[in-house]
Structure 1
Amino acid sequence: MAKTLELEFVTEFGKSARISVENPKEPIEEAVVKQAMEEMIAAGVFTSKNGNYASVKGARVIDRNVTEYEIV
């Protein structure tokens, strides 16, 4: 079972940009995630093809199960 924390931002041009974090530390605290995202924006270290990150849009955890079958 693989989990990914997906952070979604709005760029300076009004487009969406995402950062994915594999295997996030749990439990996820919304206030901590929001604060970290705001600090990333303030630091200006991330950008995308749609411009610099301007505001927080949201966050979500994606929980994925993969079952492989041997087909002969």
Structure 2
Amino acid sequence: MTKVLQLQFKTTGDKNYTLNVDAPKEQLTEQEIFNAMTAIIDSQVFLVNRDPLATIKGAQVVDRQVTEYQMQG
């Protein structure tokens, strides 16, 4: 199984931006996610078309199962 934490933001230009975090730790709380997202916004490290992230839109953990086949040929 593969888990991805998707952090969803809005930019100052009202664009959506999703930051994917592979293999998030188990038992994350909403408060931990909120604090991390707030720190990301405050850092202004990410720009989308020159616009910084401005607000939190939401977050979700996506859990999917991947089956790989080794093809010989």
Which interval holds the TM-score relative to the shorter structure? Answer: 0.7 to 0.9
Taking only aligned residues, the RMSD between alpha carbons, in angstroms, comes to 1.6
Identity of counterpart residues, as a percentage?
39
1:54 counterpart residue number: 54
Where structure 1 has 5 or more consecutive residues not aligned to the other structure, the ranges are none
Where structure 2 has 5 or more consecutive residues not aligned to the other structure, the ranges are none
The total of aligned residue pairs comes to: 72
Normalised by the length of structure 1, the TM-score is 0.87
Runs of 4+ in 1 over 2 A off after TM superposition: 67-72
Output the amino acid matched with 2:56: V
1:63 counterpart residue number: 63
**Aligned pairs (5 A) from 1:15-34:** 15-34=15-34
CA distance in 2: counterparts of 1:69 and 1:35, whole angstroms: 40
CA distance in 1: counterparts of 2:9 and 2:35, whole angstroms: 13
Alpha-carbon distance, 1:68 to partner: 3.8
Alpha-carbon distance, 1:14 to partner: 0.8
DSSP-derived class of the 1:24 partner: coil
1:43 counterpart residue number: 43
Normalised by the length of structure 2, the TM-score is 0.86
DSSP-derived class of the 1:13 partner: coil
Alpha-carbon displacement from aligned partner over 1:37-62 (angstroms, at most 9, x marks no partner): 01111111111226210011100001
CA distance in 1: counterparts of 2:70 and 2:53, whole angstroms: 44
